[in-house]
Structure 1
Amino acid sequence: MFDILMYLFENYIHSEMEVVVDHDELTNELTRAGFREQEIQKALAWLECLADLQELETKSYIDASATQATRIYTADEMTRLDSQCRGFIMYLENLGVLDFATREVVIDRVMELETSRFTLDDLKWVVLMVLFNVPGQEAAYDQMEGLLFEEADGPLH
């Protein structure tokens, strides 16, 4: 399912091509690209849920007093998001790329992915997809895009 999301994001959204609106046409294209029907339907449902967030004020469903709260991860979340991923989420919050509301959306979307192996690179793409779909997060999207594509110069220590 994640491969389909990446395919769609890279070929339509991220490349700024016109997005195919017709569900059947998109399904046919993904089938021709080698994806299975069941996985296509799951990926499209995942994207629809993410798109629904555009219609919500993301902050409206999270208590404003949570802005200074510490996030405690559930056992399932810690299984999916290893310490490196959780540390990166905290790093993004400290940079101002994620706020408390977008952080929760990212975690929600990660938990809805059906994948046995989830990496830090996968998390970065999910963050980018979320920021692209949340109104008012253009600057955070640009900053995350820079973090995703930047090459490290020299040693990382």
Structure 2
Amino acid sequence: MMDILMYLFETYIHSDADLTIDQDELEDELLRAGFHQQEIYKALHWLEGLAALQQADGAKIATSSALSIRIYTPEEMLRIDVICRGFILFLEQVKVLTTETREMVIDRVMGLETQEFILDDLKWVILMVLFNVPGNESAYTQMEELLASSEQGVLH
């Protein structure tokens, strides 16, 4: 499923391609690209969940003060390992993620139907969330810059 999400993000969103494609046409293209029908449905459902979070205007997402600490549920800790949780905390500390976007990221990570979830997958999810939430353009740019610098060995 992550492969489909990354493919869609790179092909349609990150490349400024035409975004007016309909769902049937998109499914056909993904099938031609070699993805399985069931995984395509899961990925499209995941994207619908992301859109629903953005449209909820924070109704489902609790805000917290700057002094609060996020406690992960046992289920979240099984999916989001300590390295990924540390990266989320780091992004909050450098103001790339707000409490609201952090919760959106965690929600979308938990919405993934995948057995294996690694830091690189988290980075993609964060980019997708930041891209899809209006008003986070500078955070999205900052996240891209962090990723570019980490690929060059600057970020530890």
Same fold (TM over 0.5): yes
> Higher helix share goes to which structure?
1
Could you say which residue in structure 1 is the equivalent of 2:140? 141
Q: How does 1:4-83 map to 2 (within 5 A)?
A: 4-58=4-58, 60-83=59-82
Q: Tell me the alpha carbon deviations over residues 118-150 of structure 1, each in whole angstroms, 9 at most, x when there is no partner.
A: 111110110000000111111101001111222
Query: Take 1:115 and 1:62, find their aligned partners in 2: how far apart are those partners?
Result: 24
Task: Say if 2:130 and 2:137, in contact at 8 Å, map to a contact too.
Answer: yes
Q: Secondary structure at the match of 1:135?
A: coil
- Unaligned runs of 5+ residues in structure 2 are none
Q: TM-score, normalised by structure 1?
A: 0.91
| 1:63–1:110 CA distance, 2 compared to 1 (3 A) | closer
Q: Secondary structure at the match of 2:145?
A: helix
Could you say which residue in structure 2 is the equivalent of 1:152? 152
Cα displacement (A) at 1:155: 9.5
Cα displacement (A) at 1:153: 4.3
Task: Say if 1:53 and 1:133, in contact at 8 Å, map to a contact too.
Answer: no
Cα displacement (A) at 1:69: 1.6
Q: Between the two proteins, what is the percent identity of the paired residues? A: 60
Residues 1:116 and 2:115 aligned together? yes
Query: Take 1:154 and 1:139, find their aligned partners in 2: how far apart are those partners?
Result: 20
Q: TM-score, normalised by structure 2?
A: 0.92
The Cα RMSD (Å) is: 1.8
| 1:34–1:61 CA distance, 2 compared to 1 (3 A) | same
Query: Take 1:36 and 1:90, find their aligned partners in 2: how far apart are those partners?
Result: 35
Q: Which amino acid aligns with 1:93?
A: E
| 1:68–1:121 CA distance, 2 compared to 1 (3 A) | same
Query: Take 1:84 and 1:35, find their aligned partners in 2: how far apart are those partners?
Result: 29
| 1:75–1:96 CA distance, 2 compared to 1 (3 A) | same
**Count of aligned positions:** 155
Query: Take 2:153 and 2:117, find their aligned partners in 1: how far apart are those partners?
Result: 26
